[in-house]
Amino acid sequence: MSSNNKIIQDLIFFYVKENYKKHLVDNNMESIPDEEIHDVINTIYISKKKHLRGFLKDSLKKIQKEEYIGDLIINNICYEIFNDDELCKHRLYTEIKIFQDTKK
């Protein structure tokens, strides 16, 4: 995995984790019930998809400074990542489920 891909993966996981925590706080929850995880992911994923692109660009500009790979490359990477929404949502489900199971 290239250095850029690893940074982007780490940023996406950070973003998802922070939105997960915010959802728990906003809804006064310890965890999301298993039967509601898919619904929560659908809501958050759809509403935050565009914001995530901006977050990635801004974060990479700060991290990479003069070495920034450029908006065009970021747009292409985002296109590849978001090309299969069902795969992305399934991955998010898996990550949240694992995270919640390890907290118990």
Most confidently modeled range among 24-28, 48-52, 70-74: 24-28
Q: pLDDT higher for 72 or 82?
A: 72
Average pLDDT of 77-88? 84
Average pLDDT of 54-67? 92
pLDDT digits (tens, 9 = 90+) for 69-79: 888 888 888 88
- Residue 61: predicted pLDDT: 93
The gap from C-alpha 100 to its chain's centroid, in whole angstroms, comes to: 16
40-58: b (≥16 Cβ within 10 Å) or e: bbeebbeeeeeebbebbbe
- Residue 26: predicted pLDDT: 95
